[in-house]
Amino acid sequence: MMKIINSVSLFSSLIYFAILGAAFTETCAPQLGEAFPDISADSTNGPIHLHEYLGKDWGLLISYPADFTPVCTSELARVVKILQEFVKRDVKVLGISPNSVATHRAWSKDILEYAKVADTDHFPYPIMTDEDLSIAKHLNMLDKKHSMPDGSPLMGRAVFLISPERILRLSLIYPATTGRNFNEIIRSIDAIQLAEKLPVATPVDWKSGDSIMIHPGLPEDKTREMFPETKTVNLPSGKTYMRLAPQP
């Protein structure tokens, strides 16, 4: 009898952890520094496999709650207008929302008109479709405070910066009612790419051209060699971790 009880208990535990594991897998968004999944979906440029599409470039995946809505239109239009800022940083932009490709294409005309660009026949970056919200669920991009007319949660305004090595380097998510600041996103890309090349960090409110901070782990002799104009801030603790230098 005890063996039967133990077997039932073990079986129940296995079912519980299988269900828990399935639920976890569905919403297992990558953490900073982890590999970004190779998502695939149809888009305004045809079927896209993310890793293949990015090639050797960085990627910026930006999600939207719905087509033909005011905040989303203003955001996509802003990206159209500043797209060359991403291009010169070797960043490929992709949008994604839960509407169909046909709806994306119809909506793109409104976006281009709002952006006041000369070429209103060509949308300059792809918009992927996620009609069943499977990608949104997997990447944990849902805004559960706001919902669609059918009661399902809206897709939030997520931002994922993906390195050429397919590693997640930046993750942001805004509620459906709040438009993103793309100046901040570009500023963050500049800071991250700079720190990829050099042993530096960027201080609060930093923008390209401002002084940078030397990584605390860089020895003093190497610091003087690489950043000869470094200045150390005198602090009450007597510690010398606050080292600033002009941006290289």
- We report the CATH number of the domain holding residue 240 as 3.30.1020.10
**What is the Cα–Cα distance from 158 to 142, expressed in whole angstroms?**
9
User: Quick check: 144 and 112 in contact, CB under 8 A?
Assistant: no
CATH number at residue 171: 3.40.30.10
Q: What are 131's two structure tokens?
A: 């009609």
Closest CA to 145 of 132, 129, 157, 131: 157
**What is the Cα–Cα distance from 133 to 167, expressed in whole angstroms?**
23
Say whether pLDDT at 106 is over 80.
yes
Which residues constitute the domain of residue 237?
198-245
- Whether residues 174 and 238 share a domain: the answer is no
| CA-to-CA separations, 147 to 65, 154, 172, 181, 193, in angstroms, rounded | 10, 5, 20, 23, 36
Q: What is the mean pLDDT of residues 96-110?
A: 96
User: Which residue intervals of the chain are DSSP H helices?
Assistant: 2-26, 50-54, 70-81, 83-87, 101-115, 134-138, 182-197, 220-226
- Residue bearing the bigger pLDDT, 44 or 117: 44
**What is the Cα–Cα distance from 169 to 185, expressed in whole angstroms?**
12
71 Rama class: left (phi>0) / alpha (psi -120 to 50) / beta:
alpha
Task: List, for residues 198-221, the tens digit of each pLDDT value.
Answer: 999 999 999 999 999 999 999 999
Q: What is the mean pLDDT of residues 224-243?
A: 96
Q: What is the mean pLDDT of residues 66-75?
A: 96
Task: List, for residues 183-198, the tens digit of each pLDDT value.
Answer: 999 999 999 999 999 9
Q: What are 136's two structure tokens?
A: 């949104």
Task: Give the residue carrying structure tokens 């909506």.
Answer: 107
Measured in residues, the chain has a length of 248
Residue 110 lies in a domain: yes
Collapsing DSSP states into helix, strand and coil, what is residue 127? strand
- Helices then strands (H, E): number in the chain? 8, 13
Tell me the average pLDDT of the chain. 89
Say whether pLDDT at 175 is over 70.
yes
| Local confidence band at 3 (pLDDT 50, 70, 90 cut-offs) | very low
How confident is the model at residue 28, as a pLDDT? 72
- Give percent of the chain with pLDDT exceeding 70: 89
Residue 154 lies in a domain: yes
Say whether pLDDT at 176 is over 70.
yes
| CA-to-CA separations, 137 to 132, 143, 181, in angstroms, rounded | 9, 10, 24
Q: Which of 180, 212, 232 corresponds to the end of one domain?
A: 180
Say whether pLDDT at 145 is over 90.
no
| CA-to-CA separations, 131 to 26, 65, 101, 152, in angstroms, rounded | 16, 11, 10, 12
How confident is the model at residue 144, as a pLDDT? 84
| Lowest mean per-residue pLDDT among 19-33, 49-63, 135-149, 219-233 | 19-33
Collapsing DSSP states into helix, strand and coil, what is residue 81? helix
- The predicted model scores a pTM of 0.85
- Whether residues 212 and 160 share a domain: the answer is no
- Whether residues 152 and 37 share a domain: the answer is yes
| Local confidence band at 27 (pLDDT 50, 70, 90 cut-offs) | low
- Give percent of the chain with pLDDT exceeding 90: 80
Residue 113 has a CB neighbour count (10 Å cut-off) of 12
Q: What is the mean pLDDT of residues 215-230?
A: 95
Q: Within 13 A of 136's CA, how many CA atoms are on the CB side?
A: 28
User: Quick check: 63 and 39 in contact, CB under 8 A?
Assistant: no
Say whether pLDDT at 1 is over 90.
no
- Whether residues 116 and 36 share a domain: the answer is yes
- Whether residues 70 and 109 share a domain: the answer is yes
Task: Give the residue carrying structure tokens 């942001």.
Answer: 172
- Whether residues 137 and 42 share a domain: the answer is yes
Q: What is the mean pLDDT of residues 128-148?
A: 90
Written as one letter, the residue type at 90 is D
Selection from 4-13, 150-159, 171-180 with the highest mean pLDDT:
171-180
| Lowest mean per-residue pLDDT among 1-5, 39-43, 105-109, 223-227 | 1-5
